Chains A and B, each alone.
Chain A
Amino acid sequence: GQNIDQPTEMTATEGAIVQINCTYQTSGFNGLFWYQQHAGEAPTFLSYNVLDGLEEKGRFSSFLSRSKGYSYLLLKELQMKDSASYLCAVRNAGKSTFGDGTTLTVKP
């Protein structure tokens, strides 16, 4: 089976950098995905990693270490609109197992 752990809540200041960690134990792995979900809305794709290392996409970057079962999402130059839930998900063929999400609050 799969087990995904991420912090429940985080708070950061506008303009700052925040790192959201995700650890996983998995019986199969085809990639790790990060999604953003605003309250009352559907998740939207942010980033994914299949191989070890850092993937950068504008203000968002994601890192993966498969040997450690560890990933993080890095958000730079935080904006108020980044206040949302961030979901880590491990893919195994067509099945995705999601963590419970990290609620990020960005304060002025």
Chain B
Amino acid sequence: GAGVSQSPSNKVTEKGKDVELRCDPISGHTALYWYRQSLGQGLEFLIYFQGNSAPDKSGLPSDRFSAERTGGSVSTLTIQRTQQEDSAVYLCASGTGTIDTQYFGPGTRLTVL
């Protein structure tokens, strides 16, 4: 596709359930980034991938959060046993390298009831 896509666009779940968020980066982009943004706040770094490797996982808030990337393309962010404080917009971005412009997807709005 022409840009970064994310699915689903909206996700409402119950506390304690697991959720999986998907990101399709721009074709050919080797770097992929996950952020989350709470209402009225800046972006909080979660994790980034260079190819299929994640050199920096320091932003993951807890061990309930995990992410993987396969084939140097699609990435999934999994949140286990969701909590209400996980409610936010989860944004994915991709780029051609780790020091480059990031192109953001439209985000997934997660609401945990």
Contact = CB atoms under 8 A, between A and B. Distances in A.
B102 A101 contact: no
Tell me if A's interface is mostly helix, strand, loop or mixed.
strand
Interface in A7-46: 30-31, 33, 41-45
A28 B40 CA distance: 27
Interface in B6-44: 31, 33, 35, 41-44
Contacts, number: 56
B56 A93 contact: yes
A95 B106 contact: no
Interface of B is mostly: strand
Interface residues of A, number: 23
A101 to B, nearest CB: 5
Given A95-B56, A95-B58, A96-B33, A42 B41 contact: no
Interface of B: 31, 33, 35, 41-45, 48, 50, 55-56, 58-59, 91, 98-99, 101-107
